[in-house]
Amino acid sequence: MKKILFASATAAAVLASTPAFAQTASIAPAGPRIEAVVGYDRVKALGEKDGGLLFGIGAGYDYPVSNAVSIGADIEATGSTQKEGAGVVEVKSGRDLYAGGRVNFAVSPTANLYVKGGYTNARFKADDGVDSASENFDGYRLGAGGQINVSGKAYVGAEYRYSNYEHGLSRNQVALTVGTRF
């Protein structure tokens, strides 16, 4: 009789806690988000490398596919202070536009890791003091990072990304993010 009472009490406790568990079990990031981006940008062109400050804004939407995994879409617009003086010609990074996807992996109720990839289009400007010209270059971006919730829906994150463009241009960036989910 004691075993039956114990089993009944255990079953009742488990069933009573199931709604609360269901609410906390879904830890994959979900919904729309917006974030500020700041970091270091290093551009490699024609064998030369130079760096500068990365800054911009990003947005996205994450859709949970399980309790610990979500897939998302990203868009981002950034600028950079990177410039290189090659003789009398100065080459500067212009805006960089990115659109792609990502897969998030929840590692705790407040932290997730992700990998991302997609299309990027960067503008570079050349100026020799007399004439100036700008050109857009298409490429792809691969990256990985993580985010930690700091308060409510606010989060901070860090990310490494590599971009490869036409004509031997490439870019390595380390970015810090501050954002919120809606």
Q: Phi and psi for 149 in degrees, rounded to 5?
A: -70, 135
Q: Does residue 131 surpass a pLDDT of 80?
A: yes
Lowest-pLDDT range, 9-18, 35-44, 61-70, 151-160?
9-18
Q: Look at the domain 28-181 and name its fold.
A: Porin (2.40.160)
Lowest-pLDDT range, 7-21, 54-68, 126-140?
7-21
Q: What is the rounded CA–CA span in Å between residue 93 and residue 107?
A: 36
- Tell me how far apart the terminal alpha carbons of the chain are, to the nearest angstrom: 52
Q: pTM of the prediction?
A: 0.81
The per-residue pLDDT for range 81-103, each reduced to its tens digit, is 988 765 667 778 899 999 999 99
Q: What is the mean pLDDT of residues 113-122?
A: 98
List, in sequence order, every beta strand (DSSP E) within 46-181.
Answer: 48-64, 69-80, 83-86, 89-108, 111-127, 132-151, 154-165, 170-181
Reduced to 3 DSSP states, what percent helix, strand and coil does the chain have, rounded to the nearest 5?
15, 70, 15
